[in-house]
Amino acid sequence: MDIGVKLPPELEQATRKMIGDAIQQVVADTIKVNHWPEYMNQRQAAKYLGTSPGTIIKWEKADIGFPTIMIEGSKHYSKAALDRWMDAQQQKN
């Protein structure tokens, strides 16, 4: 759609730069918010699930199938497994 407004070249250039910068910032913010590692530590997993590390510990102790990977005493959590587990919990309710 052409609205027929003619801007001076310097104003048009400044407007294009401002729009381009805003788009780049939105993309960067989206990547930052949505970027989670494939394997997380307990703190990251809790943040990813929107809960506390204490709740993660409770879920692990409750024997409800919370997906935990144990490697030589170090706990890790797969993003994909956490997503599947959360989907399964949602379907139960």
pLDDT, tens digit, for every residue of 16-74? 999 998 998 888 777 666 688 999 999 999 999 999 999 999 999 998 999 999 999 99
pLDDT number for residue 33: 63
Residue 6: per-residue pLDDT: 85
With 70 as the cut, is the pLDDT of residue 77 above it? Answer: yes
Please report the beta strands in 16-62, taking only residues with DSSP state E, as ranges in sequence order. Answer: 39-40
pLDDT of 49 reads 95
pLDDT of residue 44: 95
49 near 86, Cβ under 8 Å?
yes
